Amino acid sequence: MSRVLIVGAGGVGTVTAFKCAEVKAVFSDIMLASRTKSKCDRIAADIAAKYPNRTKIQTAQVDADNVTELVELIRSFQPMVLINVALPYQDLNIMDACLETGVHYVDTANYEPKDVAKFEYKWQWAYQDKFKEAGLMALLGCGFDPGQTQIYTAHAAKHHFDEIHYLDIVDCNGGDHGKAFATNFNPEINIREITAKGKYWEDGAWHEIDAMSIHQPINYHNIGERESYLLYHEELESLVKNFPTIKRARFWMTFGQEYLTHLRVMENIGITGIKPVKFKGVDIIPLEFLKEILPAPESLGENYVGETSIGCYMKGIKDGKERTCFVWNNCQHQKAYADTLSQGVSYTTGVPAMLGAKLMMTGEWMKAGVYNVEEMNPDPFMSQVGGYGLPWNEIIDIVVPFADY
């Protein structure tokens, strides 16, 4: 049994804390820390109501932009693993604090510079030698996408293919939260991601496209056909590195027309910008202001209906013959809320974060250095994740929904 420190108390942090509390045999002591301690206290109280017989969740205030504060908190609590579900801008600070205090590290999204929308692993991969020399592990991108989608790919590569040649990750939220406009995770990150240039890998090179310029209908299990847009998502970068036989890799996500109309209006008036503007003599970031007036993602769960469907279509070779495979999960928002008082998008990210940390703490995924999740053995993850609320399905030799396969 070991201690875990969770930094970040939004929707994903809520799920991560609930799921760690569920696994008392591994996570003996839990601390939840955030810039706003009252949010941590509220989550801890909700967990205590569900699990009255386990050790109370400790809470703390910390500014994850401040390495000194992080170091002091880590040293006072002495966790084995830190799960970072704060903002991606803060990843490097938290990694630095883990190095200084000798603590293993897990996150769910790659580092992003605050002043430019760049989604690349190079900054975190540069820590490989530091973590290896310190005898520490950093596990990157252990959410759903990134995260579970890469584990699905690793599972298929291990059990169903000799070589994977084509990969399409498909992500549909078929739910309805009843709001005119809201984002399912931090608006700063969500809106930066979908308004950025799209990008995909083909024939050994990256190909950049205008945002939302390539789209097609895709049929999603239990949901139906939805228009799906080609975006860039960070897991593509590590997947084509770690599976060099991949000739093309793409990522698709669904958006409703009402969502896109709201987004287009906000873009046109400049409120999605990340450059400072003067307001009454004070510099403000328009996107940060927008975040403050939109519904908090963690507030959406109670009235959310419908479900998500996320998976990986793959085509390649097995025993000299062509093969296709589809691995996916459906997650119902109401089931997620019943389990963790959170909506399904937070749930699909927080559950893998807990399980990745668990596998590190039990030694099944523990090795010094910096790694993406597909570099780990997928079997223990795939055998356990269904029991924690994210069951998966697979079909071999499926007809794929892409004409260019």
202-219 pLDDT, tens per residue? 999 999 999 999 999 999
Tokens of 93: 């600070």
Indicate whether 372 belongs to any domain.
no
Residue 101 to residue 95: CA distance in whole angstroms: 10
Which letter, b or e, does each residue of 338-363 get, where b requires 16 or more Cβ atoms within 10 Å of its Cβ?
A: ebbbbbbbbbbbbbbbbbbbbbbbee
Indicate whether 239 belongs to any domain.
yes
Indicate whether 312 belongs to any domain.
yes
Going by their DSSP bridges, the two strands 137-140 and 369-372 should be labelled as parallel
Indicate whether 137 belongs to any domain.
no
Q: What is the pLDDT of residues 92-144, one digit of tens each?
A: 999 999 999 999 999 999 998 877 767 899 999 999 999 999 999 999 999 99
Q: What is residue 115's predicted lDDT score, i.e. its pLDDT?
A: 72
Domain count for the chain, please give it.
1
Residue 330 to residue 389: CA distance in whole angstroms: 10
Q: What is residue 266's predicted lDDT score, i.e. its pLDDT?
A: 86
Indicate whether 323 belongs to any domain.
yes
**Measured between alpha carbons, how far is residue 213 from residues 148, 230, 248 in Å?**
27, 8, 18
Coil vs helix vs strand at 100: helix
Q: What angle do CA 329, 332, 335 make, to 5 degrees?
A: 120
Segments of 256-392 assigned E as strands: 277-279, 282-284, 307-318, 321-332, 369-372
Indicate whether 210 belongs to any domain.
yes
CATH number at residue 246: 3.30.360.10
Neighbours of 39 (CB within 10 A): 20
Task: Give the predicted TM-score (pTM) of the model.
Answer: 0.95
Q: Residue 250's domain spans which residues?
A: 148-332+387-396
In the Cβ-directed half-sphere of 328, how many Cα atoms lie within 13 Å? Answer: 25
Average pLDDT over residues 318-330: 98
Indicate whether 304 belongs to any domain.
yes
Q: What is the pLDDT of residues 44-95, one digit of tens each?
A: 999 999 999 888 899 999 999 999 999 999 999 999 999 999 999 999 999 9
190: confidence class by pLDDT, cuts 50, 70, 90: confident
Segments of 346-396 assigned E as strands: 369-372, 393-396
Indicate whether 176 belongs to any domain.
yes
